[in-house]
Amino acid sequence: MSKNEDAYMGQDLGQILKWLEGQKLKAPAMKEASPFHRNLEVALDQRRADHSLLTLHRFEHKVDFSSNDFLSLATSGLLRDAFLEELRTNPNFAVGSTASRIADGNNAYMEAVEKHIADFHGAEGALLVGSGYDGNCAIFSAVPRPGDVIVYDELIHASAHDGMKSSMAATQLPFKHNNAEALREVLVELKTNQSLIRDGSRCVLVAVESVYSMDGDVTPLADIVSVVEEIFPAGNGQIIIDEAHSTGLLGKNGRGLVCELGLEKKVAIRLHTYGKGLGTTGGRCTTMVMRLGAIILGVFSWLTLSDIIAAILASPSVLDTLLNFARPIIFTTAPSFPMIAAIQAGYKLMESGRTQQESDIWQDAVDSGICSIPVSEDVESRSFVTQFLPVWTRQGQNYFLTMHLHRDGFNATPIDPPVVPRGTGRVRLIIHAGNTDEEVEGLASSVIDWAQEMLDIQHGETGGKEVPSAMKEVYKLAAVANVKELDPSRMAVNSFE
Q: Mind listing the domains of the chain with CATH numbers?
A: 3-36+57-71+367-496 (3.90.1150.10), 76-280+306-352 (3.40.640.10)
Confidence grade of residue 291 (pLDDT, cut at 50, 70, 90): very low
Confidence check: pLDDT of 327 > 70: yes
DSSP class of 243: -
Confidence check: pLDDT of 186 > 80: yes
Confidence check: pLDDT of 278 > 90: no
Evaluated on CA atoms 370, 372, 374, 379, the torsion sign reads negative
Helix H or strand E segment including 360: helix 356-367
Selection from 415, 444, 441 nearest residue 427 by Cα: 415
Helix H or strand E segment including 224: helix 221-231
Confidence check: pLDDT of 258 > 90: yes
Q: What is the mean pLDDT of the chain?
A: 78
Confidence check: pLDDT of 242 > 60: yes
Tell me which range, 61-70, 165-174, 452-461, 482-491, is most confidently predicted by mean pLDDT. Answer: 165-174
Lowest mean pLDDT among 52-61, 77-86, 379-388: 379-388
Burial status of residue 60 (CB atoms within 10 A of its CB: 0-12, 13-18, 19 or more): exposed
Instruction: State the CB neighbour count (10 A cutoff) for residue 355.
Output: 27
Task: Give residue 279's pLDDT.
Answer: 44
Under 8 Å CB-to-CB from 140, ≥6 apart: which residues?
150, 160, 163, 164, 166, 167, 207, 240
**Average pLDDT rounded to a whole number, residues 293-307:** 28
Selection from 69, 77, 66, 435 nearest residue 245 by Cα: 69
Task: Give residue 70's pLDDT.
Answer: 56
Lowest mean pLDDT among 48-52, 61-65, 295-299: 295-299
Confidence grade of residue 75 (pLDDT, cut at 50, 70, 90): low
CB crowding 210-221: b at 16 or more within 10 Å, else e: bbbbbbbbbbbb
